[in-house]
């Protein structure tokens, strides 16, 4: 029996599920949006009848039909029991971001179209909480562009499941804008010398060579990089042993513009040299 690589794309309305499905389609997946969960076992059987022509499938599942898929988790376990690879991807975003997206599109919330959007967002979030807890991966799209979301999904899912390597994401952020929560490891670099207080460096981002040189030649930064490289060299193989497909490492400084960016850039070079697939994302680099 051919093994199916199945990705279930779900999440909050307005979080980017349609864009995610488009990314899977571009990556060569057979995609169906809004498939009723009860039809999933039948769909899997139909894929078998294609004699291996359909191996990678992405299904969009949400609650637009007003009937919540309370048995979805059980159905997915049944599909796994048949020997297939099943990955539940859950997309979400902050409330204010979802409200803004609905406002920009001038669309009502699909669950509660006749009340303020915020009420619909919170109602859906409550109903989706249980499914979110069962997700294999949760992605907060609040600070991602459509292109960044596509690149993130493509890097993780474009390979055949049997060949999938650990994808590492280095995420820089500023503590003044809040701590990201969709992460696995987090390091605070606020103890390093701050270019913010150097007039010529203050307006420059942390990936500018002058800022990088200022930050990375600091003896404390040199020692930190050495310690982090050693720690990650030890930890990453352990994550791989657990068959993890992704690892998100957050590096934070005060504003997310200088020190975190410089340190993360250096770590990206080190991890890439070790042969790892590394994505670098700067959440707050353009914020004042």
**Chain segment 70-116, per-residue pLDDT in tens:** 678 888 888 888 888 889 999 999 999 999 998 888 888 888 888 88
| Cα separation, 14 vs 17, whole angstroms | 7
CA 2 to chain centre: 29
Instruction: For residues 154 and 217, state if they share a domain.
Output: no
Domain boundary among 163, 184, 210: 163
Domain count, the chain: 2
Q: Assess if residue 288 is contained within a domain.
A: no
Whether 12 and 109 map to the same domain: the answer is yes
Segments of the chain with pLDDT less than 50: 65-67, 160-162
pLDDT score for 172? 96
Whole-number Å distance between alpha carbons of 263 and 258: 9
Mean pLDDT (the chain) is: 87
* 130 and 175 belong to one structural domain: no
pLDDT of residue 52: 61
Do 198 and 136 have their domain in common? no
Q: Which of 107, 129, 163 is the last residue of a domain?
A: 163
Element (H or E) spanning 133, and its range? Answer: helix 117-133
Same domain, 123 and 205: no
Same domain, 266 and 250: yes
Residue 287 maps to a domain: no
The domain in which residue 207 lies consists of 167-282
188 and 252 belong to one structural domain = yes
Same domain, 184 and 146: no
83 and 177 part of one domain: no
pLDDT score, position 160:
45
Backbone φ and ψ of 208, nearest 5°: -70, 135
Same domain, 159 and 171: no
93 contacts 128 by C-beta, under 8 angstroms = no
- pTM for the full predicted model: 0.60
DSSP lists the bridge partners of residue 8 as: 59, 88
Question: What local confidence, expressed as pLDDT, does residue 64 receive?
Answer: 58
Residue 145 and residue 15 share a domain? yes
Q: Say how many CA atoms lie within 13 Å of 129 toward its Cβ.
A: 6
> How high is the pLDDT of residue 159?
53
- Among 109, 132, 163, the domain boundary falls at 163
**Do 194 and 55 have their domain in common?**
no
Which strands form 5-11's sheet, in the order they lie side by side?
A: 30-33, 56-60, 5-11, 85-92, 137-140
Torsion angle of C-alpha atoms 49, 54, 60, 65, degrees rounded to 10: -20
Name the token pair of 143.
């600070």
């Amino acid at each position: 029996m051919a093994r199916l690589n199945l990705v279930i794309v779900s999440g909050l309305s307005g979080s980017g599920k349609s864009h995610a499905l488009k990314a899977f389609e571009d990556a060569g997946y057979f995609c169906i949006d809004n498939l009723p969960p009860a039809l999933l076992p039948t769909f899997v059987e139909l894929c078998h009848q294609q004699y291996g022509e359909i191996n990678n499938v992405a299904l969009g599942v949400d609650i637009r039909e007003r009937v919540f898929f309370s048995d979805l988790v059980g159905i997915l376990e049944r599909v796994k029991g048949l020997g297939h690879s099943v990955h539940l991807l859950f997309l979400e975003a902050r409330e204010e971001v979802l409200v803004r997206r609905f406002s920009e599109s001038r669309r009502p919330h699909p669950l509660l179209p006749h009340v303020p959007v915020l009420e619909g967002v919170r109602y859906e979030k409550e109903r989706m909480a249980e499914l979110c807890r069962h997700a294999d991966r949760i992605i907060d799209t609040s600070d991602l562009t459509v292109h960044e979301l596509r690149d993130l999904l493509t890097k993780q899912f474009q390979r055949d499941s049997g060949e999938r390597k650990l994808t590492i994401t280095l995420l820089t952020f500023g503590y003044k804008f809040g701590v990201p929560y969709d992460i696995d490891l987090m390091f605070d670099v606020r103890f390093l010398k701050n270019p913010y207080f150097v007039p010529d460096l203050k307006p420059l981002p942390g990936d500018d060579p002058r800022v990088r040189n200022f930050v990375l030649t600091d003896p404390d930064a040199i020692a930190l990089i050495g310690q982090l490289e050693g720690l990650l060299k030890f930890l990453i193989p352990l994550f791989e042993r657990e068959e993890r497909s992704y690892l998100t490492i957050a590096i934070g400084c005060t504003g997310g513009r200088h020190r975190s960016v410089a340190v993360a850039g250096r770590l990206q070079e080190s991890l890439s040299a070790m042969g790892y697939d590394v994505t670098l994302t700067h959440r707050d680099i353009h914020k004042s």
